Amino acid sequence: MILLLLMPMKKLLFLFAMLFSVKAVVAQGYKPVKVDSLLTISMPANYTQKDTLGQHIYTASSDFGYVVTMVEPNAKNNQPLKKAGDLNDVLKKYMNGIQKQSGNGKIMNDRDTTVGTLKAKVFTLMNDDGSGNIQYRDFLLIYTKDATYTFQYDYPDMRKDMIKGEAKAYFGSIKLSPELQRNDQYTDIHSTASSVNTLSILEIGGGVIAVFVLAWLVFRKRNTISYE
């Protein structure tokens, strides 16, 4: 107790925020959701599901933010990518498409990662409405020949120091079927260079971007109200 009293107020508030964050994740209760036959993720138990033109969208309010999981089957005649560079191009252009659709969004912390055996793209999109209302959206993108997966965690600037435990619980719960392997993303798994035109792939993925924008517009007002 004496140590707590001697702590600077800023550090004390941060400590309580982190403790409350971990506690809240446990209290909220996350439920495994099988978004298709190959991928499962845990969502807050209050999640809702919408199916639109073959696209599956799972959304839920969490204690500190808002989570969105989307999966869109790619066209049945979708041609596989050949090399790792082709996958990087698809993910980068997909990320830039999301930024463009967001209006004044700014991409932050863009980096490549892996989920199981699959390559993925991680980034944060920051939106500032000009009046001090700053929103962050953390993304994780996974592309395979058969489907594109988008995982999104939204939160306001005022809670950016409180969401670590909750965000980790969400993104860290992604579970892939053993059937999903690197060659489901591109065929030459030892390659690093790009050689194919990715325009057709991006056209297939355009529906996902459109759904992302629709989901953001529909739920943005609800999010803002819940943060106040």
All structural domains of the chain with their residue ranges: 2-227
Per-residue pLDDT reduced to its tens digit, 64-75: 999 999 999 988
Q: Are residues 140 and 120 in contact, defined by beta-carbon separation less than 8 angstroms?
A: yes
Three-state SS for 122-174 is EEEEEEECCCCCEEEEEEEEEECCCEEEEEEEEEEHHHCCCCHHHHHHHHCCC
| Average pLDDT estimate for 188-196 | 61
Phi, psi of 197 (to 5 degrees): -75, 125
> For domain 2-227, which CATH number applies: 3.40.1000.10, 3.60.15.10, 3.10.129.10, 3.40.50.12780?
3.40.1000.10
Using one digit for the tens of pLDDT, what is the confidence trace for 158-190? 999 999 999 999 999 999 999 999 999 999 988
Kind and range of the H or E run holding 226 = helix 199-227
The strand pair at 39-44 and 175-176 is best described as antiparallel
pTM check: above 0.85? no
Residue in 162, 183, 169 with CA at minimum distance from that of residue 227: 162
